[in-house]
C-alpha cells in the first residue's frame, strides 16, 4: 500500500499520523526505509531504474528524515486545511494512553513535520 491509497484522509487523521510519527521516531531508518524511499522516487520520476539502486552498505543506519515524510504529505495531501490539522492537535489527547507524553524530541519532530508539510504561504 502507498500513501496514495489513503487520499480520503482528513485533518484529524493527518494530525494523528504526525503525532504518532513524532512519538515513535527513533532518529534512524533502516534498509527497508531506503527501499520504500527508492520506490517513492521511482514512482514520482516514472524511472524504474531508481528501483535497481540499493544502499551500498546494508548494515548502515542513517538519520531518519522528517523532510521525506513532509514532502510526501505536501504532495499527496495538499487538499487538507493545515489550519484544521493544527487545531486537531488539541483533540488528540483523547485517544492516547494517560502515560504517553510528548518529550522535547517528540515535540520538536512534530513541529518540524507540521511546518515542513504545510503550504509555504500558511
* Alpha-helical runs (H) found in the chain: 11-23, 31-45, 66-76, 82-88, 104-117
Under 8 Å between Cβ of 30 and 61: yes
Is the pLDDT confidence value at 117 over 60?
yes
Reported as a single tens digit per residue, the pLDDT across 21-74 is: 888 776 655 555 666 666 777 777 777 776 666 555 454 444 567 888 888 888
- More reliable by pLDDT, 120 or 35: 120
- More reliable by pLDDT, 101 or 58: 101
Selection from 83, 114, 98 nearest residue 19 by Cα:
114
Give the other-Cβ count within 10 Å of 32's Cβ. Answer: 8
Alpha-carbon 13 to chain mean position? 12
In the block, residue with C-alpha cell 531504474: 49
User: What number is the average pLDDT over the span 86-105?
Assistant: 80
Amino acid at each position: 500500500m502507498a500513501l496514495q491509497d489513503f487520499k480520503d484522509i482528513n485533518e484529524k487523521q493527518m494530525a494523528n499520523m504526525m503525532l504518532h510519527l513524532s512519538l515513535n521516531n527513533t532518529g534512524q531508518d533502516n534498509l527497508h526505509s531506503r527501499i520504500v524511499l527508492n520506490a517513492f522516487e521511482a514512482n514520482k520520476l516514472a524511472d524504474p531504474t531508481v528501483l535497481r539502486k540499493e544502499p551500498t552498505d546494508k548494515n548502515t543506519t542513517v538519520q531518519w528524515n522528517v523532510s521525506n515524510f513532509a514532502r510526501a504529505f505536501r504532495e499527496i495531501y495538499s487538499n487538507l486545511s493545515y489550519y484544521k490539522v493544527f487545531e486537531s492537535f488539541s483533540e488528540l489527547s483523547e485517544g492516547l494512553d494517560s502515560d504517553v507524553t510528548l518529550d522535547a524530541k517528540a515535540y520538536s519532530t512534530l513541529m518540524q513535520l507540521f511546518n515542513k508539510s504545510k503550504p509555504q504561504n500558511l
